[in-house]
Amino acid sequence: MAWAGTEIASKKMFCRLTQLGALISLIAATSASQSPATNNAKPGSTSSATTHSVEWRDLPLGAAIHRLQSVTGVELFVDRRVDPNRRIDLVVSNATIDQIVAELSAKYSLGWTRLERILYVGPPQTADRLSALAAIRRRDENALPPGARQSLMDRRRIVWPRLTEPRGLIARLLEEHGWQVVGTERIPHDLWAAGDLPSMKLADQLTVLLAGFDLTYRFSPNGKAIEIVPVDWASVTPLAAAVPKDRRRPGPRSGEKQVFTLRIEKQPVGKVLEQLSQRLGWKLSVDETGLRAAGRSLDGRVSFTVENAGEDELLDALLAPAGLKATRDGSSVQILPR
């Protein structure tokens, strides 16, 4: 995937970091077992600290995804252009859900990203820009009258049966939320397997459903209708694109909580910690002896995404995939083995 970099935001303040790299890479082998097993957590847990193991050999991709969802409870959405019958081999031990999906995607030339509550798997170009496209649509929403905007923020779970026609699904979805729909003929005829999307904003659900057809939507000038239109992916810049340092803005006002939106892909933990400490004023100390004894290192590469997270959540998202943790006292941060 081509996603790269980080983005940090506080209420009314955005500060972006230096550009960082691509996907996390894990070592995989083949095994005769085809049943995923979990470690350190109950089935259904999606905590960033939870690790799982999978051993798949000559297993259809669709079946592998289904097993991963059943065991972990993670919400996965697979793009219609991904062949569910493709046979895969994958062995990953004691890894987070993000690491497993990253390894699967890297090995089979797919892309993946997190969007709100789901892990999306699809063509790399779409995965690279899906969150950015959703952000553009959210900005469009902000220009709408409050009543129209509210319907797009409603959260409902969507479930559809086998052989559902996506054109009808999307049209009904919008009509149920009170929108007139224009341009549904641009959605090619297709028949989907049974599926669902978790309780998310209507705007994000619509972005995910249309992306598989290289489509998006726009609002009519009067704000009463939604038109289905082609998406120009080349014009959608990934959210993690870096900006010059001289464009940094001042930090949050006194009493204002600082929150962060951050996306990292295949970057050494130490490098990310260094960048964050420089920007956020952390004073880092590392328990090198403890890390060596536990077989841990700051050289391990991680991939993760957080949205509107505090500093402690940010540190946990960064460190947990590498088997690390942090204790923080104000600006003093100590890195320890988990």
Better-scored residue on pLDDT, 231 or 271: 231
The pLDDT of 142-169, averaged and rounded, is: 87
Confidence check: pLDDT of 277 > 90: no
pLDDT digit string, tens, across residues 198-228:
998 888 999 999 999 999 999 988 778 999 9
Confidence check: pLDDT of 236 > 60: yes
C-alpha distance across the termini of the chain, in Å: 29
Domain map (residue ranges) of the chain: 21-122, 125-235, 245-337
Rounded to whole angstroms, the Cα distance separating 295 from 135 reads 39
The pLDDT of 11-26, averaged and rounded, is: 31
Cα Dmax for the chain? 64
Confidence check: pLDDT of 255 > 60: no
As a whole number, the mean pLDDT across the chain is 78
pLDDT digit string, tens, across residues 74-84:
899 999 999 99
Confidence check: pLDDT of 275 > 60: yes
Domains 125-235 and 245-337 share a fold: yes
Confidence check: pLDDT of 25 > 60: no
Give me the CATH topology for the region 245-337.
Answer: Phage tail protein beta-alpha-beta fold (3.55.50)
Pairing mode of beta strands 225-230, 180-182? parallel
Contact by Cβ (8 Å): 269, 304 = no
Residue 33, pLDDT score? 35
> DSSP letter at 322?
G
- Give the range among 89-93, 107-111, 159-163, 311-315 with minimum mean pLDDT: 311-315
DSSP sequence for 206-269: HHHHHHTTTEEEEE-TTSSEEEEEE--GGG---TT----GGG----PPTTPPP-EEEEEEEEEH
Better-scored residue on pLDDT, 231 or 306: 231
Calculate the CA 233 to chain-centre distance: 18
Q: What is the pTM of this model?
A: 0.59
Model confidence band, residue 271 (pLDDT cutoffs 50, 70, 90) = confident
Residue 172, pLDDT score? 93
CA distances from 242 to 1, 66, 338 (A): 16, 36, 31
Contact by Cβ (8 Å): 285, 333 = yes
Class of domain 125-235 (CATH, top level): alpha beta
Give me the CATH topology for the region 21-122.
Answer: Phage tail protein beta-alpha-beta fold (3.55.50)
Residue 259, pLDDT score? 67
- Give the range among 77-91, 138-152, 185-199, 220-234 with minimum mean pLDDT: 138-152
pLDDT digit string, tens, across residues 26-66:
222 222 234 443 333 333 344 445 788 889 999 999 999 99
Residue 146, pLDDT score? 78
Model confidence band, residue 272 (pLDDT cutoffs 50, 70, 90) = confident
